[in-house]
Structure 1
């Protein structure tokens, strides 16, 4: 029987749901304890068959740091075939090419990997496996049956010192997998650690190698960096290591692009973007990437006449953002929403002068909440004038008391009865009718019928087919 991996994960998520009456923290701890027991059961089965088996990687680091581990990974000297025999009908080959299987215990999935040696070959030694890992903080192993932590690389010392240090020769570690270059930044940002000097210099030296990494893997690291509690540190480190030039050259190009002092006393566009990120603590993906990209159109649109201007930078920036997010394989939904925020970030400035109908349409945009937050952060990181933000907040409160966008007073059938033939004209009539309703100029059906007859009587109607002509005639006679 073919096993469904996605169904397994759905079961796992359902299995891990928060019990009724339980706080989130206590539920996470309960879930973690259960995971550790189940993972220990896997280790015990492997040990009974004569194999070594340990918890490894980030979960052991989290245990040492007294954090709740999200996942528990297991490493063993057993080969994949032996693992499959020890856990019949419980394994999934999610990374068999790299020596990794998913083993399911009581509906919970665990990654079980064979010890890795040089050039990806299988090893029989824990010390060799640890020596192939990226950073010392991820080089710990834990023996759950004896409740003993094994530290072969000085990991506990580096955790105490809050240091990110490559295991062995940093250049060799990064050459094995260049994704580790950006992972060094990610761990520094998410854990609040600093990068060891030798490791930092190796990242700078090999920054260009990041181009060899798939877009999806880079995207995932960027998301973790920029949705962390300290996204501005992430941008700083990406800049200082030189990674930003190879991953997001459009952000690097913001340096030295001066802005008018009256509106941007803080400095160039890069500094402005950095100051915006400093306002954010664990932001949503949409907000932080909208902040990051909102002004990337400025270098190409900068003009100096009586003062510095960036006419059209919002539209150009939206097109540039779209290309970047496509390259990084962001989901269509996230890409479209981030692009919309970039494209519309200047519209907030026009809000006090908008017709009421236009303003209401602005406030009902799917991304308006993110756009409003973006506008506030944009102001705080520059001139600090929040007048428009307060105006929009006030309007939001006012409009919440009644439906913002009403239904058109006349529907399609009523327009047919008046004498119109279905077509693009219906959309035009409905849009203008809703605008008139929003402004209080149309309040009833009779008034709406008179308005439609007066303003749309000269509109040409498309020719209908014989079948649709009969249907329209029938509707008009009703």
Structure 2
């Protein structure tokens, strides 16, 4: 059952479904790229929801009564009218029309995209602010800081927050805010330690590993969660890598694969998404060498349905270094040639020595 069918079933049973919070804001700003998350407010209690939906679960999340979790989407149900102390998030929307319901205090802010922040906020609302500046390009007026003694978001909440952030147009803005507020090191230390590793200016003029990662997040063409999470984590192994054989970050891709897998499992991401991201992190350097490699040596990677995503991760990694697109284009040509020659039954895995597969 898809999300539209869920909403129709609630309406048919007269439970008055409404989109709320970020789902309502997505509709208001016509943000349709993210297909992962939907928050619904309705008059249906848990008994009624359980009777309508066989695959209902009960996650540990603030103000969330129940959820339906699929491989590529999460539907959350709430009976609460107040989802956040931020008035901008207390908006609801009719899922079958362009009708929106919000307080007078929220109207001006939502129309101007300006958040007036001052004082101390809960950890949850600092995360909400990070999503709003990343997802809808809100600006912040005033100074604020997180209350580190406030309720720590659960595993499920952190997963939803990170998914919303990484499927936004400008995730680097929210991540920078979390870093500045001190929450990055509290919630996700695997990311925070990248700040302490400086890059060589000859190869990465953009700065440290963390600064390079934030810059790389500007370049995905589509906000596909496996791609953006892989870009976020592609250099997570560098802080733990050591110099060997003249390489400063020896085997950092292998280390990063292990970190990505444990990080995503800790937040409760699905095993399939976790393995996809781990694959992209493990092989994120391969496209650079692709034009000079024998096809048989990397055929398992080239044949993966994830390889187009791997090329996208490489493009983001490369473009963030200001080196230009030439190496990326050569890798794309090499991959295209591989796909073409692979279909020829008269050629071996390396397509014979007299066949020029890869473009110089």
Give the TM-score normalised by structure 2: 0.73
- Residue of 259, 270, 292 corresponding to 2:232: 292
Give the aligned partner of residue 138 of structure 1. Answer: 89
1:334 aligns with 2:245: no
Give the aligned partner of residue 121 of structure 1. Answer: none
Residue 163 of structure 1 deviates from its aligned partner by: 3.0
- Residue of 125, 146, 157 corresponding to 1:180: 125
Distance 1:266 1:189, change over 3 A: closer
1:350 aligns with 2:261: no
Name the count of aligned residue pairs. Answer: 335
Give the aligned partner of residue 262 of structure 2. Answer: 323
Rounded Cα–Cα distance in structure 2 between residues aligned with 1:324 and 1:377: 21
**What do you get for the CA RMSD once the two structures are aligned?**
4.5
1:6-155 alignment, distance < 5 Å: 9=1, 13=4, 15=5, 38=11, 42=15, 57-58=20-21, 73-74=41-42, 113=79, 130=82, 133-140=84-91, 152=103, 154-155=105-106
Could you tell me whether the CA contact under 8 Å between 2:19 and 2:94 is conserved in 1? Answer: no
Rounded Cα–Cα distance in structure 1 between residues aligned with 2:333 and 2:64: 58
Residue 154 of structure 1 deviates from its aligned partner by: 0.7
Rounded Cα–Cα distance in structure 2 between residues aligned with 1:297 and 1:160: 42
Rounded Cα–Cα distance in structure 2 between residues aligned with 1:143 and 1:366: 38
Give the aligned partner of residue 192 of structure 1. Answer: 137
Rounded Cα–Cα distance in structure 2 between residues aligned with 1:438 and 1:96: 49
Give the aligned partner of residue 438 of structure 1. Answer: 349
SS of match in other structure, 2:321: coil
Give the aligned partner of residue 162 of structure 1. Answer: 113
Rounded Cα–Cα distance in structure 2 between residues aligned with 1:66 and 1:346: 36
CA radius of gyration, larger in: 1
Distance 1:165 1:74, change over 3 A: farther
Could you tell me whether the CA contact under 8 Å between 2:197 and 2:209 is conserved in 1? Answer: yes
- Residue of 121, 136, 147 corresponding to 1:206: 147
Could you tell me whether the CA contact under 8 Å between 1:297 and 1:314 is conserved in 2? Answer: yes
1:369 aligns with 2:308: yes
Could you tell me whether the CA contact under 8 Å between 1:164 and 1:194 is conserved in 2? Answer: yes
Could you tell me whether the CA contact under 8 Å between 2:19 and 2:39 is conserved in 1? Answer: no
> Structure 1: where are the runs of 5+ without partners?
1-8, 17-30, 44-53, 103-108, 117-128, 410-435, 443-478
- Residue of 317, 323, 332 corresponding to 1:378: 317
The answer to which structure has the higher helix fraction is: 1
SS of match in other structure, 2:85: coil
SS of match in other structure, 2:342: coil
Residue 71 of structure 1 deviates from its aligned partner by: 6.5
Give the TM-score normalised by structure 1: 0.57
Residue 222 of structure 1 deviates from its aligned partner by: 0.5
Q: Deviations over 1:106-163 (max 9, x none)?
A: xxx99573xx6xxxxxxxxxxxx55x7432123346899xx99765451112212313
Distance 1:62 1:332, change over 3 A: closer
Residue 277 of structure 1 deviates from its aligned partner by: 0.5
SS of match in other structure, 1:394: helix
Deviates more, 1:357-366 or 1:275-284: 357-366
1:275 aligns with 2:275: no
Distance 1:355 1:90, change over 3 A: closer
> Structure 2: where are the runs of 5+ without partners?
33-37, 68-74, 354-360
Residue 170 of structure 1 deviates from its aligned partner by: 5.8
- Residue of 307, 326, 335 corresponding to 1:396: 335
